[in-house]
Structure 1
């Protein structure tokens, strides 16, 4: 073989070896690049996962009517993503077995803390009145997103526990048609109006069957000492306050049924109305009368037996009003953003009112908290006296002024003190005033005169009013159809 041919062969073999080396090296480089890319992708996915626990990937809640499954999914996602400031639980089930989900928001959402008031919003009690359901989901979105970045929201959530029940009647919602005023879906699965199914303070309730949704709310009210509440409806634009009913007793003043805390209720209703974009201008819905300042006494508007706001006030010592938020009960989805903007300031301002008045604890002579001590404000004799909880806590929503408060408990001396209540909501706390009881040498008189709360069935027979007046019966008959539509 010649040198030329030998050299050519060697050169060819070298070239092949070089190509193999380059090929092998290329595969190694590609392999390394692939590994690095996979590692980068894994790191990115991990980052996005942990980021999603804090922020739902930058997506705001859509303005649409979420069905029950979508609503549940959203609430569970919020509960997971904001686990440190939210707690999701069910208070019961609807007739068709849907869960009644409540989301609690606050600095410590899973537990009550002494001095931190409990607040609640309830929506969609009438299944076809859907604006409140939408607004409460938007409120949840707003509060969670703005916590620790918006000072007002942060103070709200750090100073109270906020309980939100977006839908009290999911069965009714699922059966609703998207009609502006048609009543399909208003009732629960059993065809019952839930806002006529609570025990009534002025009528006999002995034979009435409680619906599952109503029973769930009644049990819920026994688990927390709620201070302030609102339930959200539709079909008008007005803030309505108790009483909704009367049996012609001394609570009936003119054409209104007045509670002992009427001044506070008027203030609460006006707070919502004046912070709303247009409510304070009066109702301009085509089928309803105008309301001065956008508020009304419930009974004056139309008598209502078995309503939830009266039950909250009489038996749960929680001041609740009813918010009618839209002329159309099921408005088109394109109107939802404007409805949110119109109501957002009012929803937030109303929540802050939980810090009105005075709060504190009642202690016995040994310094231990006293449960079920009666705490009554002079001139405000409630049908059921306000009492302390298992922590000895009491809360009384009061406007600024001087008040004489009397505390009674069997075996202890009657204690009366005067407090001066300021108006300083910017502090996000009510005035704190504690009471210390002294042992009584004789308990006979005190025990005999201790205020008690009559049962719902017996309340109508109490000496708070006479039998239903003929004029009231006439009014009830004349307004029966109107009542069924609101």
Structure 2
């Protein structure tokens, strides 16, 4: 995602040469940030952002990604959102928790415990220790404008930052061993795309509808999760009983309580369709967005040796069908 930086980077393990693109911008500080405030977001609209950032934002609008990971170097740990907070940088060392914190912790542990050694949590001299080999991003250190938070808040895609090597630029001879350390973890992580529930939302005439709100009680996200252009919704959830509220203009609010099993073992999340009924009296009110910048992408559609990775690496996204054949070869 940062070819300029990769070209510039040397093979030094600790220095962050290569973090910036040709324009001198750290791309993993260049995304809209839910905690930065609307004024700051308006100062830099999408057209003014770096080409690489715009490409990722556009990509996320054309595909319904459900689970993703971006791969970094500079530590060995699985980091999960939020990376930022509205509580101020003076509170570094305090976690910034998402409504789906239990799911994120589960995903991070799936990776760290299937990795050859990540769960030890103390593999690098200049980072950690990390209990169970995982960390909340903000608890580690605050980061504004990162892709991890952007994916979760605006793209409805749960993403982890996977730090895979103490050395930011491992020697090519180390790559086969790194692959073997991570192969099982990557496969186990991809399988977690089948957590929770999936399905479609249909209007009163039986037609799948786009941008219907599918909200889980007790998990009100900054930007409500909505159906895609095919009326599909996907919600990664741990096994349990959840109450769903489904809303769409001109229709009654639908409330259903469902018991969700563990899906990854069967390679399929629970499937459930929501059938809405038209109303002629009530007025639909979309849930208020805590951040008024939620519509930011709906319409239109550095560091020292101790800081997180040189961002000249790879991002892997997983939809409901995974086509990463190289992982099983």
TM-score (norm 1): 0.58
SS in 2 for 1:191: coil
Q: Is 1:283 paired with 2:122? A: yes
Q: How large is the Cα RMSD of the aligned pairs?
A: 2.1
- 1:456 shift after superposition: 3.5
Whether contact under 8 Å (1:276, 1:343) holds in the other structure is yes
What is aligned with 1:169?
A: 2
Determine if contact 2:193/2:264 at 8 Å carries over to the other structure: no
Tell me if structure 2 keeps the 8 A contact 1:238–1:283: no
1:203-222: CA deviation from partner (whole Å, max 9, x where unpaired): 13232341100000000000
**Alpha-carbon distance between aligned partners in 1 of 2:180 and 2:101, rounded to the nearest angstrom:** 29
Pairing 1:205–2:72 present: no
Q: Write the distance in 2 (CA, Å) between the matches of 1:224 and 1:362.
A: 18
More helix by share: 1
Q: Secondary structure at the match of 1:407?
A: strand
What is the alpha-carbon distance in structure 1 between the residues aligned to residue 100 and residue 294 of structure 2?
A: 23
Residue 321 of structure 1: SS of its match in structure 2? strand
Q: Distance in 2 between matches of 1:441 and 1:253?
A: 51
CA contact (8 A) 1:375 1:385 kept: yes
Higher Rg: 1
From the superposition, tell whether residues 265 and 457 of structure 1 become closer, same or farther in structure 2 (CA, over 3 Å). closer
CA distance in 1: counterparts of 2:199 and 2:20, whole angstroms: 40
Give the structure 2 partner of residue 187 of structure 1.
20
The match for 2:84 is: 245
Are 2:213 and 1:374 aligned? yes
- Once the 2 structures are TM-superposed, how far is the Cα of residue 352 of structure 1 from its aligned partner? 0.4
How far apart, in 1, do the equivalents of 2:18 and 2:92 lie? 35
What is the aligned partner in structure 1 of residue 324 from structure 2? none
Q: Which ranges of structure 2 fall in alignment gaps of 5 or more residues?
A: 297-301, 311-329
Task: Output one character per residue of 1:374-433: Cα deviation in whole Å (capped at 9) or x when no partner.
Answer: 000000000000000111100000000000000001110000001111013222110001
Instruction: Say if 1:181 and 1:453 are closer, same or farther in 2 by CA, change over 3 A.
Output: same
2-structure distance, mates of 1:457, 1:261: 18
Q: Distance in 1 between matches of 2:144 and 2:225?
A: 23
Q: Deviations over 1:342-380 (max 9, x none)?
A: 000001110000000000000011111011100000000
> Cα distance 1:382–1:355, how it changes in 2: closer, same or farther (>3 A)?
same
| 8 Å CA contact retained: 1:206, 1:457 | no
Mapped pair 1:218 → 2:57:
yes
Cα distance in 1 for residues equivalent to 2:75 and 2:268: 33
1:24 is matched with which residue?
A: none
Q: 1:183 Cα shift? A: 1.6
Q: 2:232 aligns with which of 393, 396, 405?
A: 393
Per the alignment, residue 339 of structure 1 pairs with 178
Give the Cα separation in 1 of the matches to 2:41 and 2:295.
9
Distance 2:155 2:83 in 1: 16
1: CA distance between counterparts of 2:74 and 2:308?
A: 12
In the aligned structure 2, how far is the partner of 1:420 from the partner of 1:279?
Answer: 33
Give ranges in structure 1 of 5+ residues lacking alignment. Answer: 1-167, 460-478
Report the counterpart of residue 456 of structure 1 in structure 2: 293
Verify the 8 A CA contact 1:232 1:324 in the aligned structure 2: yes
Asked if 2 retains the 8 angstrom alpha-carbon contact of 1:236 and 1:283, the reply is no
Contact in 2 for aligned 1:385/1:453 (Cα 8 Å): no
Q: How many residues are treated as equivalent by the alignment?
A: 296
Aligned residue number for residue 434 of structure 1 = 273
The answer to whether the 8 Å contact 2:92/2:141 transfers is no
Give the structure-2-normalised TM-score.
Answer: 0.85
Structure of greater relative contact order (alpha carbons < 8 Å, 6+ residues apart): 2
